[in-house]
Amino acid sequence: MCGTDAPNGTNGASNGVNPANFRSNPYQPVGDFLSNVGSFKIIESTLREGEQFANAYFDTETKIKIAKALDDFGVDYIELTSPAASEQSRRDCEAICKLGLKAKILTHVRCDMRDAQLAVETGVDGLDVVIGTSSFLREHSHGKDMAYIEKTAVEVIEYVKSKGLEVRFSSEDSFRSDLVDLLSLYRAVDKVGVHRVGIADTVGCASPRQVYDLVRTLRGVVSCDIETHFHDDTGCAIANAYCALEAGATHIDTSVLGIGERNGITPLGGLMARMIVTSPDYVKSKYKLHKLKELEDLVAEAVEINTPFNNPITGFCAFTHKAGIHAKAILNNPSTYEILNPADFGLTRYVHFASRLTGWNAVKTRVGQLGLEMTDDQVKECTAKIKALADVRPIAIDDADSIIRTFHLGLHEQNKVQPPAVVEN
């Protein structure tokens, strides 16, 4: 035995350190030298991926409003639809480049020299070049083989670099592409100095473990940054983004509310919720979290949808506590049932008191909010009345409030039973 790991800590004890302190908390995050959970960058694609959302139609004015709001929120990059898509897309791209935003402006183009030339002329800071590498896409979409893809990719990358712009090269449908093909292609583009390579789960099929394995393997093959793009078809888009960062990815693609092709990609707000738990200092120092709701409302209105009820952070019940036993603990210490603090996002929690699951602690708080005074026993009696009505039918806040007020008034009347002293003059 080498002795340094003696199970009963005799070595530690001889140093005057209590060996019990070395027992690790099993819920502690796993430290990892590959991990970028505390240093990631966001490539915000509401104005590219989001434009592919079924309901999206962004006119120039709306695009500018969204770009400014994203910039104000603090995203690192804003990705725009390819200028090759339409003449208006090209003009909008130019207009957004002229806004002088802090965020870098990228546009997403096919791996094609004409598309790249058109994009370079719009004034963008960089190009996100993409090509399909899965057998499905090679056979049914562009029909090119891997040798052709690699040759074109190298030409396009060298051209974009010669113009002094940033360039990313991404495969499409990466998780259904041949791993050897994929890695040799990424190695080739890394060698010619691409700034980032991208992995895209275009069909939303990847699981977090697959993501971790692929990104970690890729991390060992290229020296450039790694961007990742996850669709949410199987509900893994946020988890996959998180695992990608743990495995060494540097950039995450998001869109506001996750809007995009089919049911979209990793949502910006959901990613913030995930990351603030892991890296609170980094997230709070970098992003204006109190602007999240405003940003989501702006995009929701532009594409005519409602924020889903279970949306992380901003869903209408994200900080609503209903069961009596939860409410009691929340009122004592919110961390008991909240991993996120609504105040970090400029929001407030709500303790539900108008239901049959309510408890007297929640009602007591409401009594205080209404400016009324009752003893604990009186609050308990009043709570029983609320629960009795809520057992018969759903009740609104107004119903519960009027029960409280009526009950309070009753107490007041009882106090008045004694006749007032007669004052003679």
Beta carbons within 8 Å of 112's beta carbon, 6+ residues apart: 84, 152, 156
Q: With respect to Zn ion, which residue has the nearer C-beta, 49 or 71?
A: 49
Beta-ladder partners of 42: 252
Closest distance of CB 229 from Zn ion, Å: 6
Residue closest to Zn ion (Cβ):
49
Report whether 324 contacts 362 (CB < 8 A): yes
Cα–Cα dist 252/263, whole Å = 18
* 142 has catalytic annotation: no
Closest distance of CB 128 from Zn ion, Å: 11
Q: Is 180 exposed, middle or buried (0-12, 13-18, 19+ CB in 10 A)?
A: exposed
Cα–Cα dist 7/12, whole Å = 10
Binding flags for Zn ion, 324-353, as an x/- string (CB under 5 A):
------------------------------
Q: With respect to Zn ion, which residue has the nearer C-beta, 52 or 355?
A: 52
Q: With respect to Zn ion, which residue has the nearer C-beta, 199 or 374?
A: 199
Pairing of strands 350-351, 104-110: unpaired
Cα–Cα dist 151/366, whole Å = 69
Cα–Cα dist 237/394, whole Å = 36
CA max distance for the chain: 111
Closest distance of CB 137 from Zn ion, Å: 13
Judged by CB under 5 A, the chain residues 284 through 303 that form the site for Zn ion are: none
Closest distance of CB 265 from Zn ion, Å: 6
Q: With respect to Zn ion, which residue has the nearer C-beta, 53 or 73?
A: 53
From the candidates 326, 352, 408, 412, which is the catalytic residue?
A: 326
Binding flags for Zn ion, 21-60, as an x/- string (CB under 5 A):
----------------------------x-----------
Structure tokens at 246: 């743990």
Closest distance of CB 261 from Zn ion, Å: 5
Total residues contacting Zn ion by CB under 5 A comes to 1
Characterize 46-83 residue by residue with b for buried, 16 or more Cβ atoms within 10 angstroms of its Cβ, and e for exposed: bbbbbbbbeebebeeebbbebbbbbbebbbbbbbbbbb
Q: With respect to Zn ion, which residue has the nearer C-beta, 265 or 386?
A: 265
Q: Catalytic residue positions?
A: 326
- Contact residues toward Zn ion (CB under 5 A) are 49
